[in-house]
Amino acid sequence: MATMTDPPVEGFRLSQLIYDTRYRSMTIQVVAFVLIMLGLVWLANNVVTNLQALGKDFDFGFLGNRAGYDINQRLVEYSNDSTHGRAAIVGILNTLLVAVLGCITATVLGVFAGVLRLSKNWIVSRLMSVYVEGFRNIPLLLWILVIFAVMTEGTPQPRDFRGEDAEASMILGDSVAITNRGIYIPNLVFNRSLGGNEVDADTGAVIASQSAGDIILLLAVIIAGFLASGFIGRRATAIQEKTGVRPPGTFWMRLGAVVVPALIVLVALGATLEYPELRGFNFADGIHLRNSLIALWFALSLYTGAFIAEIVRAGIMAVSKGQTEAAFALGMRPSWTMNLVILPQALRVIIPPLISQFLNLTKNSSLAIAVGYMDVRSTLGGITINQTGRELEGMLLLGLFYLITSLIISGAMNIYNNSVKLQER
Amino acid sequence: MKKSVLLGTLAVAGVASGAAFADGHGDTTLGQIQERGSLNCGVTTGLTGFAAPNAEGEWEGFDVGVCRAVAAAVLGDPTAVEFVPTTGQTRFTALASGEVDMLARNTTWTFSRDVDLAFEFTGVNYYDGQGFMVPRELGVSSALELDGATVCIQTGTTTELNLADFFSSNNMSYEPVPIETNAEAQQQYLAGACDVYTTDASGLAATRATFEDPSAHVVLPEIVSKEPLGPLVRHGDHEWGDIVRWTLNALITAEELGVTSANVGEIGGTTENPEIRRLLGTEGELGAMLGLEADWAANAIAAVGNYGELFEGNIGESTPIGLARGLNAQWTDGGLLYSPPFR
């Protein structure tokens, strides 16, 4: 700055830039801005020089090349002839699957543990303290490995199920097999699938199958049922508030709105259960919940659940004791007091930190590689990078995916938070 | 005023940063190693016979021997090696980023790794092929009977791709269980979480040797791929690549010429064979051409022995791993080992 040759403007001296409060803040901001820009330029320059030194370019074309590797758990069609881009999508869906499952279980678990930790029952509250402190204070990776090891070492191999006097047997009427490769459960299949059915060439019998259309239809009907049920409930409440009498049979109408359409769809599609069966090396048919998924899901849920329990407990304790006493004075039962008075007010305190926990859970799911769960970190960020040598591109895409997912989760949760927070004028 | 302040600072900063960027990476890998006084060598996280820490915590094995030979040739001290354990997924990043100077880690020489990943394979120290290991009680005698099997596979390897090719070309299905390290694979396989473990046949033999009852497991006869394993370095520093390449060649040539760790001390002075004299630096300038001392190869051979000694001592038939020389015999014995001449 000493090299500046501007002619001095009326009465302005260079020292004013530091000593004059009118200019000082501007000086500091300019210097900080320049330093930050310099840092960025240095980083970019570093990348360019090093890429050049390694003789590499920056190109996302590898996403269209043949991947050549197989993925065990795929929610969409994928084979080793598919592209690296497709492999990334398979990984993304696997990440989202474990994140959604984990968030739901962790929330249920956390709310229960948080409420029970405040219980007056000594044993119950101490048990919950042990759970919370145990899971909160031991690294997540250890829990993932422990659960995985227990599942792998403590359960029988598929071949133990074979033979007349087998060492292991299936449970729940031969419908569920717990093995060290995962849990096999019956699958829902349809005799009149929307995706069409194949016919057995020998017997002429229709082979039941399942297509994406069937599942989407079923889910859509169930969701519509819940919406209708909610509408019936709100209408009943409105009538009750107006007349003081709740319309008779409201509960059955609400139940029917959910169950009846779903049953109709199931019958129309000719739904049956397909049981897992030991064939060759492994169980075939049914749904295979791999140990890697179960270990990751359980560990993430238990670990995050412990944090959520503390958030719930804090939220409940933030509600003034007068509220409980007032509710009791009105003669409300403890369970009503909790559900109708305390929890709705506690939600205001609970929701914002809960968002962080959901984000944590989603990002922690990248520990999947420890148990060989093929999430996006293992496919795009692992094998693809390794086979194509596109570390920079792969890691950027991976970072972008987690960033977007996290922003979507926090955006959605913020909308929910706005609906439950204290409405102020 | 404000604008000129901003421009002025930007100009000054620009000049300063320009000066900072000007000093590039002039140092060579060899220079860095000599300055540091030790060689950073990437190895596996533990594969008995190839690279694994022994009871005293010292790394030993066939691949470790290559690292020690290079350290002896460059620094004159075979113990001046920092071993960096790498997994199948982290090895290339470690090498590309400069965390290690070379990899000696059962890494298959392929076109895309050599060309696209920008590495330089400096030779082959073990000719291998991918095999399958199954428990004997399964009664499987051929890899073609593995339809529907669950297969443990180290992720980020060529074996992963070969496996996919093998099963799809034979119209068979399988369930891959991706695994990070050999130790994890071993645990999963022994627990029965997978029916089959597949990796390079040498790796299978080494893994089986560490089992409680090795005879309860069979390695199937099919070898489904070519896996030439060798040390590799980064593209771009050819002097360093030459040193690693010719250190490996020196070990191979030493076996061919009958130079062993026992006689390397005196044979250079007593022999009449000019190639041995050139190799051991008692004649000619080969060491100086590499930028090393004249006795570089003699140091390497004295440290780990010649190729044959390295093989027999770590993975040969007298060890629990019990690998035969097979393809890895000298060309004079019908194998594929054929070092270019030292001339």
User: Chain A: residue nearest B137 by CA?
Assistant: A159
The answer to whether the beta carbons of residues A151 and A291 sit under 8 Å apart is yes
pLDDT band of residue B11 (cuts 50, 70, 90) is low
For chain B, what percent of residues have pLDDT higher than 70?
92
Query: Which is more confident, A161 or B57?
Result: B57
Q: Tell me the C-alpha distance between A300 and A306, whole Å.
A: 10
CATH 3.40.50.450 given to domain B130-225: no
The answer to whether the beta carbons of residues A360 and A304 sit under 8 Å apart is yes
pLDDT band of residue A269 (cuts 50, 70, 90) is confident
pTM of the full predicted structure?
0.78
- According to the model, what pLDDT value does residue B5 have? 52
Domain boundaries, chain A: 57-158+291-425
Which positions ≥6 away from A325 have C-beta within 8 Å? none
Q: Tell me which H or E stretch contains B196.
A: strand B196-200
What average pLDDT is seen over chain B?
Answer: 87
pLDDT of B12 strictly over 60: no
Q: Per-residue pLDDT averaged across A83-105, rounded?
A: 93
Could you tell me the two tokens for A24? 């000082």
CATH of domain A57-158+291-425: 1.10.3720.10
Interface test with A, best of B17, B134, B196 (most A CBs within 10 A): B17
Inter-chain CB proximity A387 and B161 less than 8 Å: yes
Inter-chain CB proximity B161 and A153 less than 8 Å: no
Q: How far apart are the first and last CA of chain A?
A: 51
Strand order across the A182-185 sheet: A177-179, A182-185, A287-290
The answer to whether the beta carbons of residues A271 and A189 sit under 8 Å apart is yes
Considering only CB atoms, B168 lies closest to which of A41, A80, A153, namely A80
Backbone φ and ψ of B61, nearest 5°: 145, 180
Contacts of B188 in chain A (CB under 8 A): 152
Tell whether B192 lies on the interface with A, counting CB pairs under 8 A: yes
**B178: helix, strand or coil:** strand
Could you tell me the two tokens for B64? 């470790």
pLDDT of B13 strictly over 60: no
Query: In this structure, are strands A182-185 and A177-179 parallel, antiparallel, or unpaired?
Result: antiparallel
- According to the model, what pLDDT value does residue A132 have? 94
Question: How far is the alpha carbon of B307 from chain A, nearest alpha carbon, in Å?
Answer: 30
Inter-chain CB proximity A369 and B236 less than 8 Å: no
Reference B172, options B140, B200, B217, B204; nearest CA is B140
Interface test with A, best of B110, B117, B162, B170 (most A CBs within 10 A): B117
- Please, what is the Cα angle at B117 between B111 and B119, to 5 degrees? 80
Which tens digit of pLDDT belongs to each residue from B84-128?
Answer: 999 888 898 899 888 999 999 889 999 888 888 889 999 999 999
CATH match for B29-127+229-333 among 3.30.465.10, 3.40.190.10, 1.10.3210.10, 3.20.20.60: 3.40.190.10
Residues written for chain A: 425
Which tens digit of pLDDT belongs to each residue from A116-155?
Answer: 998 889 999 999 999 999 999 999 999 999 999 998 888 8
- According to the model, what pLDDT value does residue A97 have? 93
Inter-chain CB proximity A55 and B174 less than 8 Å: no
CATH 3.40.190.10 residue ranges of chain B are 29-127+229-333, 130-225
pLDDT of B22 strictly over 50: no
pLDDT of B10 strictly over 70: no
Question: How far is the alpha carbon of A160 from chain B, nearest alpha carbon, in Å?
Answer: 10
pLDDT of B25 strictly over 50: no
Question: How far is the alpha carbon of A89 from chain B, nearest alpha carbon, in Å?
Answer: 18
pLDDT of B164 strictly over 80: yes
Reference A133, options A111, A105, A113, A104; nearest CA is A113
